[in-house]
Chain A
Amino acid sequence: EVQLVQSGAEVKKAGETLKVSCQVSGFDFTDYWIGWVRQMPGKGLEWMGIIYPGDSDAKYSPSFQGQVTLSVDKSINTAYLQWSSLKASDTAVYYCGRRTGDERRGRYFDLWGRGTLVIVSS
């Protein structure tokens, strides 16, 4: 089955580190960029960045550059989103998505994970 399976909910304290995962199955991991999207409580979708598993090339939204790190482990078809020092304002649901499309069709996420809830207490 083609799917993105995200890791479970996390409850952390401010200042702690965290790495959430997104494991893909049913398609070639190195054929697609994997993106991350934040949704704060009651708010809209925010694009954080994207990574290409083939060579770990990552692009970050200016809003998230330096705040998070994207990485992959090709041996287990998994993409990661990590923080080195969490803040209370990082409390949100984080989604991974498979980017598809091209210049002819536009670029978009055709497949999404179910999301990982991250709660950070101060």
Chain B
Amino acid sequence: SYELTQPPSVSVTPGQTARITCSGDGLEKQYVCWYQQKPGQAPVLVMYKDIERPSGIPERFSGSSSGTTVTLTISGVQPEDEADYYCQSTDSSGTFFVFGSGTQVTVL
């Protein structure tokens, strides 16, 4: 089955840069999006098509892609960025979704 691999956790101090990776064999051909989820809340889309930021998402969030790895970067991390982040892609048909296992971002 298709899997997306994320690091379990990333720790960063305020103002620094957090990078969260998402790796998977199919990512050279399928786009990735990213969701932010804070405790007790629904996920929120923060990036789509690897590098596109939805309206309302701060510019400090950016995305990049290289081969089978896609990266979500948070530049100048703020305390409110502390959350779980999930990558998501689709199978080759575009029908079935797959989520990464999630990365907990801790702002020290």
Contacts and interface: CB of A to CB of B under 8 A. Distances in A.
Interface residues on A, range: 20 to 34
B48 A45 contact: no
Interface string B13-53: 00000000000000000111101010001111100111010
Nearest to B103: A44
A115 B38 CA distance: 13
B96 A47 contact: yes
A112 B102 contact: no
Contacts, number: 69
A106 interface: yes
B89 A115 contact: no
A47 B98 contact: yes
Contact of B97 (A47, A103, A104, A110): A47
Interface of B: 1, 30-33, 35, 37, 41-45, 48-50, 52, 54, 84, 86, 88-90, 94-102
6 A-B pairs with the lowest CB-CB distances in the bound complex, closest first: A106-B31, A108-B33, A47-B97, A112-B42, A44-B102, A45-B99
